[in-house]
Homo-oligomer: A and B are copies of this chain.
Amino acid sequence: MARWQPDAPGRLAAAALDLFEENGYENTTVSEIAQHAGLTKSTFFRYFPDKREVLFDRDTVTGLLVEGIASAPPAAGPLDAVADALDALGRTFFSADRREFSGRRQAVLDANTELREREALKRIDLTASMIEALEHRGVPGLTARVAAKLGTLVWEIAHDQWIDTGNSEDFGPLARRALADIRATEAMR
């Protein structure tokens, strides 16, 4: 099976995903993950504080989103800045060779309460980073909160569709369409 597997944290995440799928999250140890990745336990702890973190690469995602919001054209409205950032994320992080990994990862997260909780908190922290990045553009606080909340919903919808194996569209265009669909709903009036 072709597998997205570049650097050490990526190899550790891929190894963890294999083992969580095979033996369950609870029954997998950090030593086993490191061994399966052909790395040492101390290398693991250089990148992740514990087992629960190994499937989360939010520093990268947060950095890309914040950068994308910052570099949107000055005239772009708050939601358009968020859409630009999601586009950038689609080009650089949610690329086609990560799709299969992301789908398997999401299935493992969804099946485990501990991981769902960690994901829920990461989502809140990510939303907070987006709010901050929007405020840096001069967007007023409440507007930034609304745009970030809606941006998170765009993300969720586009990500669900992107990891769907029946779908082959890229993340960016899926996010653009989700945003347009959201803007057209009755709830936005």
- Interface, chain A (partner B; CB < 8 A): 77-79, 113, 116-118, 120-121, 123-124, 139-140, 142-147, 149-150, 152-153, 157, 181-182, 185-189
Contacts and interface: CB of A to CB of B under 8 A. Distances in A.
3 smallest CB-CB distances across A and B, nearest first, come from A120-B120, A117-B117, A146-B187
A73 to B, nearest CB: 15
18 contacts: A77-B187, A77-B189, A78-B186, A79-B187, A113-B121, A117-B120, A120-B120, A120-B121, A120-B124, A139-B186, A142-B181, A143-B185, A143-B187, A144-B187, A146-B150, A146-B187, A146-B188, A149-B153
Contacts of A145: 153, 157
A186 B143 contact: yes
Contacts of A185: 140, 142-143, 146
How many copies of this protein are present in the complex? 2
Nearest to A114: B117
A118 B120 CA distance: 9
A117 B116 CA distance: 9
Most buried by B among A79, A123, A146, A153: A146
Nearest to A78: B187
Contacts of A181: 142
B77 A186 contact: yes
A118 to B, nearest CB: 6
